[in-house]
Amino acid sequence: MYLIVDDFQHPMLEKLASLDKGFTRLDSAPNKMALDFIRGNLFDASKMRPLPHNIPGPDNDLNEKIDAYVQRAIGDERASIYAFGERWGPENSVKDKYFGFLPGNGIHDIHMNQGNSGQFVKDDGVWQDGGLLFHFPSIEKANVGIGVEVWPEQWVAVFLAFQSQSWHTDDQTGHTIPDVPVQEGNVQIIAALVNPEGDDAGHETVTLINLTPSLVDLSGWFIADTNKNRSVISNLLLNPGATGVVQLDGLGAQLSNNGGIITLLNANGIKYHGVSYTKEQARSGWTVVF
């Protein structure tokens, strides 16, 4: 399964761009730049699609789709590629299998690394998923007689997962939680006031919508923030197609003005929906729409 997001936005990017080149060990925890496909609200998992790696013909298999961005990065000396996964090596006496350099070393497991089955269950964990991020800085090009042409900064994200992996996993082990019905997305976060004018505490809000044809009782559900602090939802019934506003009390979930993630959990703590927002989106008094 793959998803390529060619306009990737997430609060982690600001920290990522400040890293030195080379290997950087990340803590497997929230808000530490590590990836977690389920808890990090990086993308909508329903948009992932299966695609073989070797279909004949141009631009119709995974290798070609990824290579297009690799070649673009090679052609731009200011571009950077960030590979998330597990480091191997250095292997001082073993040349790299493909490029022949010594010592052999690099990054592998550049894919989802939780919710595994069979012999791969031992590799499960949270906040340790892999992925590729391409950063293309903005370009300002002056054209005489025409004006100035600007190509904005762009982040491209490549996310990969196996079809056998589960999207409901334990928060501690990353192991599959059995017998969880696939209903996520029935209720979604569509907006949030993350930076109200004046004091934030007690005035931040999250707006939800019921997409189902039935009445939904959200009492006992939770809103969680970047650090997984939770606020319980009380007395909220949503009719089909209706929206509802959850006002956070400032004691549980708190929405950072520097960017963050917002997650909707059901009464059993199972994720139903999640979004992210950046520092630039958190304008004072303005509501962020997802």
Same domain assignment for residues 143 and 89: yes
Domain contains 167: no
* Rounded Cα gap, residues 23 and 126, in angstroms: 20
Query: pLDDT value at position 169?
Result: 95
How many structural domains is the chain composed of?
2
**178 within some domain:** no
Q: Same domain for 15 and 125?
A: yes
- 170 in a structural domain: no
Domain boundary among 121, 143, 160: 160
Neighbours of 229 (CB within 10 A): 14
pLDDT at 113: 98
Largest CA distance in the chain: 66
Report how far apart, in Å, the C-alpha atoms of 25 and of each of 3, 86, 280 are. Answer: 25, 9, 27
SS3 (DSSP) at 122: helix
User: How many alpha carbons lie under 13 Å from residue 112 in its C-beta half-sphere?
Assistant: 30
Residues 154 and 50 in one domain: yes
**Same domain as 78, residue 204:** no
Q: E-assigned strands of the chain?
A: 2-5, 80-84, 86-91, 104-108, 131-136, 139-143, 147-151, 154-160, 187-193, 205-210, 216-217, 222-224, 230-232, 237-238, 243-247, 259-265, 271-278, 288-289
Instruction: State the CATH number of the domain containing residue 224.
Output: 2.60.40.1260
Check the CA dihedral 84-89-92-93 and report its sign: negative
**Positions of the chain with pLDDT under 50:** none
In a domain, 199, yes or no: yes
Q: Is there a domain that residue 47 lies in?
A: yes
Same domain assignment for residues 143 and 218: no
* pLDDT for the residue numbered 125: 97
d(CA 172, CA 277): 25
End-to-end CA distance of the chain: 24
Model pTM?
Answer: 0.87
End position of a domain, from candidates 160, 179, 209? 160
Residue span of the structural domain in which 273 resides: 187-289
- 96 lies in a domain? yes
Tell me: do 83 and 12 sit in the same domain. Answer: yes
